[in-house]
């Protein structure tokens, strides 16, 4: 069949933009439409009946779902209202929710993720750049021009680093299947293991790139999972090699505590299970060449 797969979202995904009439919402809705995403509805309380870029706007997620049947939503909503927006979208039946907003209170994030789990829905983020299945659908704020179809699946904690690595891969002639931004917060919806599991099943993905960073134990847990469950080759790049221990770095997730989550500890854990760890972002395409030739 030669069916080109993707994970979580694809060309059939019907997207709803919550907060579409705001500056961020309307700007990024235009970018997503330009990429080819199928945005079918916007939500902005009090602005129902308007249109943004020919996309009909509704007062509530429920009204948007009744009229347009979206199945994924992206939230451009201030942190104080993000929980309500996400719960509203989940309760209306969204299967994928992308939470761009940063600074969402931890308890709010926990409540949203718990509800999503009960609804068998996927939360990308919070504090994420989003998710893109190359040439099919982009739900997020990443730059359109670097995502072209190909065999490499990418999952990242950091947005800017993942852009750099995806751009380097594209320059070397390699496109991506799906790129997932887990987000930089302490409490996250999707984690490395959820995404690795999907990439392992995805027939388009031949190589997986993990972009991690110091702090937390996400990479160590991923290594443990890879050992027993992932047959595809994995390359990792970790940010924060030169960060002093005990200091709080940019992401809430990047805090090193009690000797856990150090750069060296993560590298050791990953290399022990056969993951190739790049020292610098530009080495990722060189390693990919070795593997995919």
Query: Active-site residues: which are they?
Result: 251
State the DSSP string of 34-59: HHT-EEEEEE-TT-TT-EETTEEEES
Q: Is 103 left (phi over 0), alpha (psi -120 to 50) or beta?
A: left
Q: Is 26 left (phi over 0), alpha (psi -120 to 50) or beta?
A: alpha
Q: How far apart are CA 101 and CA 106, in angstroms?
A: 12
For CA atoms 189, 193, 199, 200, the dihedral sign is: negative
Determine the longest span between alpha carbons in the chain, in angstroms.
57
């Amino acid at each position: 069949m030669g069916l080109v797969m993707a994970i979580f979202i694809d060309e059939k995904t019907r997207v709803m933009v919550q907060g579409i009439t705001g500056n961020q919402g309307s700007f990024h809705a235009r970018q997503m439409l330009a990429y080819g995403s199928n945005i079918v509805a916007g939500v902005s309380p009090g602005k129902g009946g308007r249109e943004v870029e020919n996309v009909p706007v509704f007062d509530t997620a429920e009204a948007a779902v009744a009229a347009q049947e979206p199945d994924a939503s992206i939230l451009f909503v201030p942190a104080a209202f993000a929980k309500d927006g996400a719960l509203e979208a989940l309760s209306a039946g969204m299967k994928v929710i992308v939470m761009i907003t940063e600074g969402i209170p931890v308890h709010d994030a926990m409540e949203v993720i718990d509800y999503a789990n009960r609804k068998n829905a996927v939360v990308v983020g919070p504090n994420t750049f989003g998710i893109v299945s190359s040439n099919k659908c982009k739900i997020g704020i990443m730059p359109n021009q670097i995502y072209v179809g190909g065999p490499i699946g990418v999952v990242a904690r950091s947005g800017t680093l993942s852009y750099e690595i995806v751009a380097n891969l594209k320059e070397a002639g390699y496109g991506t299947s799906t790129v997932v931004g887990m987000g930089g917060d302490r409490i996250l919806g999707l984690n490395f293991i959820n995404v690795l599991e999907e990439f392992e099943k995805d027939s388009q993905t031949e190589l997986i790139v993990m972009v991690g960073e110091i702090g937390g134990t996400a990479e160590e847990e991923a290594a443990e999972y890879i050992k027993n469950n992932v047959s595809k080759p994995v390359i990792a790049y970790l940010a924060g090699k030169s960060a002093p221990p005990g200091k709080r770095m940019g992401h809430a997730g990047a805090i090193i505590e009690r000797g856990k989550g150090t750069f060296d500890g993560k590298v050791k854990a990953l290399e022990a299970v056969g993951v190739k760890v790049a020292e610098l972002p530009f080495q990722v395409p060189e390693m990919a060449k070795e593997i995919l030739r």
